[in-house]
Amino acid sequence: MVTQSNINFFTNWAKERLGEMEATVTSLEARAAGVQVDLREKATKVLADLGKQRDEFRETLKQQSEAGETAWTQAKSKMEADWRRFEAEAGKYVESFSKQVEQQQATFKLQADAQLKAWREAVDKLGSDAVKFVSAHRADIDAAVTRMTADAAEAEKKLEKLKQAGTHSWSALMTALTETRLAFDRANEAAREAFKRAA
């Protein structure tokens, strides 16, 4: 039970990143025809590379789904590097080929929706896992779930506000996603620690 719960926290982290990758590639592909003709070949190549990176990340997640915590810890380091590379390349793509604010907003909205979905799924999973614990540490687990729920609501408010405004720069939108992603990671780690203490 505890080992599987710990693995769920790694999976939460990876699913959140994969969801954003999916959203990014989907958004960019949907608007690829709008890229200037003289840049289209280069843009298509970059998009193909982003899709390949997403697929490799998905495959790693799939392979790790049954692995133990030690294997996850090792894989997570590589996956973090893969995520950072994807995020940097997606940012370059948007800045190079998607000058239109509408493209940036559409991509941001899909990424924000993917991130919020990951928050909701993690909170739901933690809530159902918490029910299984009837120990002295149950209060710690309940507090972690409550904190994650509150953090998710705060992230949702922040992202919704930016989605509605529609006038922010790409870097401001990415900063907001980074901040809420880090909040997700902190909440996920705090919940993981509470479950470990309860074991």
- Here the tokens at position 29 are 């592909």
Contacts of 17 (CB under 8 A, 6+ apart): 57, 79, 83
- Please report the pLDDT score of residue 2 as a whole number: 39
- How confident is the prediction along the chain (199 residues), in pLDDT tens digits per residue? 434 455 578 888 889 999 999 999 998 888 777 777 777 888 889 899 999 999 999 999 888 877 777 788 888 888 999 999 999 998 888 877 766 667 777 888 888 888 888 888 888 887 777 767 656 567 777 787 788 888 888 888 888 887 776 667 777 888 888 888 888 888 888 887 877 777 6
Rounded to whole angstroms, how far apart are CA atoms 12 and 132? 19
DSSP state, 32?
A: G
- Please report the pLDDT score of residue 3 as a whole number: 46
120: number of Cβ within 10 Å: 13
Q: Total domain count for the chain? A: 1
Rounded to whole angstroms, how far apart are CA atoms 79 and 63? 12
Range of the domain at 60: 2-198
Q: Tell which residue, 176, 183, 146, has the closest CA to residue 161.
A: 176
- Please report the pLDDT score of residue 166 as a whole number: 63
